[in-house]
Amino acid sequence: MVDESSALQTECPECGAEHSAEARQCPACGAPLVRECPACGAECPFAATKCQACGQELAVVDKLFARITGERAQWLREVQQEAPAIKAQAEAASQARLQTMWAEEARRQEELAAAVAERDRQQRIFVVVAIVIGVVVIAAVAVTLILVGGQPGG
């Protein structure tokens, strides 16, 4: 006696897992089991070399697809290999910019400290000059009062 379920089973060309003949994707690995003919749009088994409906050669499509995906895969591998160097270069540039900013900030802080010190020095000079002027004015008034007050009849 032939088991009907095994008669309707086929193997996945990618992983070898059995699947039903109507399956569009392998239930084990997810690989496509049918593809569309580029000429007529009919569904063909993935392993077929010609379309069962119109006879279109499917190997040409496979070769083109392999070339496109192969180039893309190679490009992705190259980008993945270059990525660490690009990231390191970007990090180094970022660190250099950061060092420049910190140096500029330190210079700005030094200039600010020098300006504050100069302002404080000028304020001290102003206070000393004001005190000296005040003392001179008081001394002049005192001398004037002594001179005017010391004269008879005046």
Query: Cα 148 to chain center, whole Å?
Result: 86
pLDDT of 118: 98
**Residue 108 predicted with pLDDT over 90:** yes
Residue 3 has phi, psi (to 5 degrees) of -75, 120
Confidence of residue 117 (pLDDT cuts 50, 70, 90): very high
Domain layout of the chain by residue ranges? 6-56
State the pTM of this model.
0.39
**Residue 101 predicted with pLDDT over 60:** yes
Which comes out higher in pLDDT, residue 17 or 153? 17
Cα–Cα distances (Å) from 106 to 62, 94, 118, in that order, read: 64, 18, 18
Query: Which residue in this structure is represented by tokens 């088991």?
Result: 3
DSSP string across 25-59: B-TTT--B-EEE-TTT--EEETT-SB-TTT--BSH
Segment (H or E) for 94: helix 59-149
Query: Lowest-pLDDT range, 14-23, 109-118, 139-148?
Result: 14-23
pLDDT of 75: 78
**Residue 79 predicted with pLDDT over 50:** yes
- Picking from 5, 3, 1, 25, the residue whose alpha carbon sits closest to that of residue 13 is 25
